[in-house]
Every structure is written in C-alpha cells, then in structure tokens.
C-alpha cells in the first residue's frame, strides 16, 4: 500500500485536480472556462469520460506525430536517392 503525503493547505478538490492530467489538458485548451470545466468534471460522468478520451487522443496523436516525423525523414532520404537514380538512368537512356 502506497501512502501519499499531501500538504495540508490544499483542498481535497485541488489534490484530486493535480492528479488528473486529462482535466489539465482540457483546462489548458479552454482556459477561459477553467472553473466550469472543473465543475463539470467532478459532477458529470459523461464529461469526465470525454475528457479522458480527449487526453488519450492527444497522447496517441503526439506518439504518431513523433513516429511519422522519424519515418518522414527516411522517406525524404529515399525520395532524394530515387530522384538521383532517375536522373542517372534517364541520362543513360537518352544516350542510346
């Protein structure tokens, strides 16, 4: 069993809020609605589930962007090699 020591000056809601990354992501996206988002998150199960899905979608998108950027570099390298080979082939084809 893990015991978490929380400073006394924070309210229970603030403590829970700090643990919910998905809530933070939504509040960062719409900072002007921070209080309303917080209220909805703790009283509306469907809203909380949507926040969790939103957070997961962002996580996956970030992962895919990273993977894609790495693969994009490889693709660009091969496209460059392909262009060079096409130029060389075309030069030899045109000679005949």
Show the domain range for 46: 12-95
CA pair distance 74, 80, nearest whole angstrom = 10
Would residue 82 count as lying in a domain?
A: yes
CA distances from 92 to 12, 78, 84 (A): 76, 21, 13
Would residue 77 count as lying in a domain?
A: yes
Would residue 46 count as lying in a domain?
A: yes
36-43 own/partner pairs: CB under 8 Å, 24+ apart: 38/13, 42/13, 42/16
Question: Per residue of the chain (96 residues), what is the pLDDT tens digit?
Answer: 555 544 455 566 655 554 588 899 999 999 999 999 999 999 999 999 999 999 999 999 999 888 888 888 888 899 999 999 999 999 888 886
End-to-end alpha-carbon separation of the chain, Å?
A: 80
For CA atoms 74, 75, 79, 82, the dihedral sign is positive
Would residue 7 count as lying in a domain?
A: no
Would residue 4 count as lying in a domain?
A: no
How many structural domains are present in the chain?
Answer: 1
Would residue 1 count as lying in a domain?
A: no
């Amino acid at each position: 069993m893990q015991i978490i020591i929380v400073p006394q000056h924070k309210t229970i809601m603030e403590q829970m809020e700090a643990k919910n990354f998905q809530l933070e992501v939504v509040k960062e996206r719409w900072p002007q609605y921070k209080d309303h988002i917080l209220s909805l998150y703790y009283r509306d199960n469907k809203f909380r589930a949507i926040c969790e899905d939103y957070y997961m979608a962002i996580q996956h998108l970030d992962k895919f962007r990273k993977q894609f950027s790495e693969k994009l570099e490889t693709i660009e390298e091969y496209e460059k090699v392909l262009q060079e080979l096409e130029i060389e082939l075309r030069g030899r084809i045109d000679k005949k």
